[in-house]
Amino acid sequence: MDSPTIPLISRRDALIAGAATATAAAVSSSAPAEAAAPKAAATPGPRAKLSLNVNGQVHALDLDTRTTLLDALREHLHLAGTKKGCDHGQCGACTVILDGRRINSCLTLAVMHDGAQVTTIEGLGTPQNMHPLQAAFVKHDGYQCGYCTPGQICSAVAVLDEIKRGVPSHVSADLTAPPLLSAEELRERMSGNICRCGAYSNIVDAITEVAGSRT
Ligand code: FES
Ligand code: FES
């Protein structure tokens, strides 16, 4: 009985064929997503006048009511220190301090905050006169690419204020006792700020130093 014919193919040929197949699959699977991607809204929306006090300076704005606080800061006031990472409330890169509380500025509309006080990374310090947390991030290498850093620092400023005010977190064992300045507390409170470079342990070191429990 004849043995079945087995086609001869080298390992190199197999790898090339596999890579080509994977590329073709990737192209074909991404094509519908691209075709279905929503086009930017071209129709102008209703507008509203509002005023924002940003870093101590009052700004009068006339905005499309769909403008997020993040876009108002970056595109209209040209304060590009606040970063747009996901634009979906998932990364924390856009964190600013609004009326004393941290907020994801991509998840809120500017018109909702007429008269509010906003602090961005530009309002915390300057390269010549850094906020203690900015200096601590430099000292402890609390960043690599730096994209998440403005959000991390704004969030950390608000975290220390929350702890000072006795606001408990999800990991606080006793909701009525003053919160501890533990690494566990800091990690939980900073968990909404994602760092793709993985600088987390250095970020905790920087915040811990400023909090005063370790130098
Ligand atoms: Fe706002 Fe990611 S850009 S949470
Ligand atoms: Fe690069 Fe955090 S330092 S994402």
**148: Cβ below 6 Å to ligand 2?**
yes
Among 83, 100, 123, where does a domain finish?
Answer: 123
Question: Which two tokens mark 184?
Answer: 């566990």
The CATH number assigned to the domain holding 164 equals: 1.10.150.120
Residue 52, amino acid: L
The CATH number assigned to the domain holding 62 equals: 3.10.20.30
Q: Given a cut of 60, is residue 5 above it in pLDDT? A: no
Query: Has residue 74 been placed in a domain?
Result: yes
Question: Which two tokens mark 203?
Answer: 């970020």
pLDDT digits (tens, 9 = 90+) for 105-143: 999 999 999 999 999 999 999 999 999 999 999 999 999
Do 109 and 180 lie in one domain? The reply is no
67 C-alpha to ligand 1 centroid (Å)? 14
pLDDT digits (tens, 9 = 90+) for 66-101: 999 999 999 999 999 999 999 999 999 999 999 999
**147: Cβ below 6 Å to ligand 2?**
yes
Contact (Cβ atoms closer than 8 angstroms) between residue 69 and residue 40: no
**196: Cβ below 6 Å to ligand 1?**
no
Write out the residue range of the structural domain in which residue 76 sits. Answer: 47-123
Question: Which two tokens mark 38?
Answer: 């929503």
Average pLDDT, the chain: 86
> pLDDT class for 158, splitting at 50, 70, 90?
very high
Distances (CA, A) of 110 to 51, 139, 213: 9, 35, 37
Query: Has residue 24 been placed in a domain?
Result: no
Written in H, E and C, the secondary structure of 41-52 is CCCCCCEEEEEE
Do 132 and 206 lie in one domain? The reply is yes
Q: What is the pLDDT of residue 39?
A: 57
Do 114 and 188 lie in one domain? The reply is no
Q: What is the spatial distance between Cα 148 and Cα 154, in angstroms, rounded to a whole number?
A: 10
> pLDDT class for 21, splitting at 50, 70, 90?
very low
Query: Has residue 69 been placed in a domain?
Result: yes
Query: Has residue 30 been placed in a domain?
Result: no
Locus of tokens 């929503």:
38
Do 71 and 129 lie in one domain? The reply is no
Torsion angle (degrees, nearest 10) of CA 196, 199, 200, 202: -170
Q: Which residues contact 17 (CB under 8 A, 6 or more apart)?
A: none
Mutate to test the pocket of ligand 1, among 88, 120, 191 (most ligand atoms within 8 A of CB): 88
Q: What is the pLDDT of residue 164?
A: 94
Which ligand sits closest to the CA of 68?
Answer: 1
**86: Cβ below 6 Å to ligand 2?**
no
Which ligand sits closest to the CA of 83?
Answer: 1
**85: Cβ below 6 Å to ligand 1?**
yes
Q: What is the pLDDT of residue 33?
A: 42
Which ligand sits closest to the CA of 92?
Answer: 1
The total of structural domains in the chain comes to 2
User: In a 10 Å sphere around its CB, with 0-12 CB exposed, 13-18 middle and 19+ buried, how is residue 49 labelled?
Assistant: exposed
Mutate to test the pocket of ligand 1, among 71, 75, 91 (most ligand atoms within 8 A of CB): 91
pTM: 0.80
Contact (Cβ atoms closer than 8 angstroms) between residue 64 and residue 111: no
